[in-house]
Amino acid sequence: MDRYTISDLEKLTGIMAGTIRIWERRYHIIKPHRTDTNRRWYDNDDLKRILNISILYRKGVKISKIATFSGDEIEEKVKLLTRESSDTETQLDTLIVAMSDLDEDRVNDILMRSIINKGFEETFTEVVFPFLRRVGIMWHTGSVDIGSEHFVSNIFRKRLISAIDTLSPPERPDRKKFIMFLPESELHEMGLLFFTYIIRKAGHSVLYLGQSTPFNGLKDLVERWHPDFLVTGALTSLPFGKPEDYLKRISSAFRDQTILVAGILALLAGKMSLDNVIPFDSVNSLKKYL
């Protein structure tokens, strides 16, 4: 979809709708389209222009000066400014523009610069996951298509897998055994991959089963491998008839394991008080068990 309301622009850029209207009226930086009933709407080019303008504005360039630049000049100045920037909001805006342009090189460049400046773990907690949450808002408002979302998510996924592959085999004598899995029909594995990286980096053994793991297959592997922990989660309740029943089922089936759950399952587990099911909502809360 390439049609946005001024409210969409406010959510996606962080610039108040009233400010955008003032910029339109006073500086003519953007000219909105109009519906038959005279309501504003904006296209993808307008979104990218506003994002680029917001980057320059946050960097101290006056809006009256920005208004004198051509579209090409704005893009060039943004590229120069963001090349060395470690500012999170700027990185988020730049990632949205790169996603809209399907520019893999630019996404990878932003990631690499952030990893150099912040570190790998901080890049995912402070940049990648906030960005994906913003993309989620865009998806729900119809502001991003599924192809663009898959394009950028798979760049992050490849980066995580590559980072996991570079870790040394676990050697600590007190290492624990973790099975990482998602319930059947749950396909969003970015968080699970990141938690796998954190656990492996801490020196523990991991058996990664990934997305949409059949319950019987999980049970078989638990009986054969004897893990200390199971780690799972779900972004929404969509994969379940009743998420509460799923938590009761895994709690009953795996009495010898501690089961760490994230996402929607963590919210429910906190209310249900199952003795071997522990909710966690951040990397720091996960690290308590490492």
Judge residue 173's burial from the number of C-beta atoms within 10 Å of its C-beta, 0-12 exposed, 13-18 middle, 19 or more buried: exposed
- Sign of the C-alpha dihedral computed for residues 216, 218, 221 and 223 taken in this order: negative
d(CA 24, CA 9): 13
**Whole-number mean pLDDT of the chain?**
89
Provide the pLDDT for residue 31: 86
Q: Please give the full DSSP string across 61-103, using - where no structure is assigned.
A: --HHHHTTS-HHHHHHHHHHHHTS---HHHHHHHHHHHHHTT-
pLDDT for 205: 96
pLDDT of residue 83: 67
User: How far apart, in whole angstroms, are the C-alpha atoms of residue 192 and residue 175?
Assistant: 19
Q: Which domains does the chain have, with CATH numbers?
A: 1-82 (1.10.1660.10), 84-166 (1.10.1240.10), 170-287 (3.40.50.280)
CA proximity to 178, closest of 154, 157, 156, 201: 201
Using 50, 70 and 90 to split pLDDT, how confident is the model at 101?
Answer: confident
Cα(92)–Cα(51) distance, integer angstroms: 10
Q: Is the pTM of this model over 0.75?
A: yes
Give dist(CA 283, CA 281) in Å, integer.
Answer: 7
d(CA 29, CA 51) in angstroms, rounded, equals 12
